[in-house]
C-alpha cells in the first residue's frame, strides 16, 4: 500500500450535514534546534460563523504555546505563551500563572496532572489549558521524528535494524491495537522480522540500506 501524500486533511470524509457554525483547530509543529534541544509550538484557533453574514467567519481565540525540552532527559528548559486574540481583550490575557512554571517539568512524566494543577479553572485560561493538554501526546512524536527516526534514517547501519526495531517494539507494546501484544498487525510483522513496512514509513533510506544488506 503506498504511503499517503495528502497533507491538507480529508474534508470529504464524514462531513457535517450543514455549514459549520464554529471551528476549532489545533496545529502542533516541532523542530530540532540542535542535537540537544527540541522545540514544540502549539497554536489554537477558534472561529465562529458571523450571525449576520453566514459567509463570513469571526476569530474568537488565537492562543500559542512554545515549549523547548532537552532531548537527553526530556526536561522543559523554556516555555512561552502568546495570546494574539482573546475573547475579552484587557481581561483574558492577564493570566495568573505564567509559562515559566513549566520549566523543569518532564514532558513524559505526569505532565497532564501537573498542567491541570497549574492551569485549570481559575488559575488560568480554559482554552490555553486545552491547547497544552492537546500538545502532550505529540511530544513523543516530535522527539521521534526530529531525533530518533531522523538519525536512524541518516546514520544507522543496516546491521543495527533488528536492535532498533526491538527497542521500538518494547516502547510501543500495547500502545494501540496495531501494537497489541501477540495480536497486533505490526507486532506480527516484527515477530516475523518483517520490518519493511515500518522502515518505509519512518526511515526510507535505512530501508534501502537494509534491503541491500539482505541481498548481499
The three cell numbers of residue 181 are 501484544
Q: Where are the alpha helices (DSSP H) in 17-125?
A: 111-119
Q: Which residue has the cell 485549570?
A: 120
Residue 173: pLDDT over 90: yes
Bridge partners (DSSP) listed for residue 5:
none
Contact 120, 130 (CB under 8 A): no
Same structural domain, 57 and 130: yes
Average pLDDT over every residue of 144-160: 94
Say if 13 falls within a structural domain. no
pLDDT given at position 161? 95
Domain encompassing residue 34: 22-137
Say if 43 falls within a structural domain. yes
Say if 193 falls within a structural domain. yes
Average pLDDT over every residue of 159-166: 95
CA distance 181 to 118: 36
pLDDT digits (tens, 9 = 90+) for 93-104: 999 999 999 999
Same structural domain, 162 and 64: no
Q: Which of 87, 102, 137 is the last residue of a domain?
A: 137
* Sheet-wide strand order for 22-32: 22-32, 37-49, 57-70, 76-85
Q: What share of the chain is helix, strand, coil (3-state, %, to 5)?
A: 40, 25, 35
pTM of the full predicted structure? 0.88
Contact 70, 37 (CB under 8 A): yes
Contact 59, 46 (CB under 8 A): yes
Burial of 91 (0-12, 13-18, 19+ CB in 10 A): exposed
Amino acid at each position: 500500500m503506498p504511503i499517503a501524500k495528502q497533507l491538507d486533511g480529508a474534508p470529504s470524509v464524514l462531513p457535517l450535514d450543514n455549514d459549520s457554525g464554529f471551528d476549532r483547530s489545533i496545529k502542533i509543529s516541532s523542530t530540532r534546534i540542535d542535537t540537544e534541544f527540541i522545540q514544540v509550538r502549539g497554536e489554537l484557533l477558534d472561529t465562529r460563523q458571523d450571525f449576520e453574514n453566514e459567509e463570513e467567519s469571526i476569530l474568537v481565540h488565537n492562543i500559542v504555546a512554545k515549549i523547548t525540552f532537552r532531548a537527553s532527559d526530556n526536561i522543559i528548559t523554556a516555555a512561552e505563551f502568546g495570546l494574539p486574540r482573546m475573547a475579552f481583550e484587557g481581561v483574558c490575557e492577564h493570566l495568573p500563572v505564567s509559562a515559566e512554571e513549566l520549566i523543569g517539568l518532564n514532558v513524559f512524566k505526569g505532565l497532564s496532572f501537573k498542567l491541570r494543577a497549574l492551569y485549570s479553572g481559575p488559575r488560568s485560561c480554559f482554552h490555553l489549558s486545552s491547547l497544552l493538554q492537546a500538545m502532550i501526546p505529540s511530544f513523543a512524536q516530535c522527539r521521534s521524528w526530529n531525533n530518533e527516526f531522523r538519525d536512524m534514517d541518516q546514520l544507522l547501519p543496516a546491521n543495527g535494524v533488528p536492535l532498533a526495531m526491538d527497542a521500538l517494539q518494547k516502547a510501543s507494546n500495547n500502545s494501540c491495537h496495531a501494537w497489541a501484544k501477540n495480536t497486533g498487525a505490526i507486532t506480527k510483522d516484527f515477530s516475523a522480522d518483517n520490518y519493511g513496512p515500518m522502515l518505509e514509513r519512518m526511515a526510507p533510506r535505512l530501508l534501502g540500506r537494509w534491503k541491500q544488506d539482505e541481498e548481499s
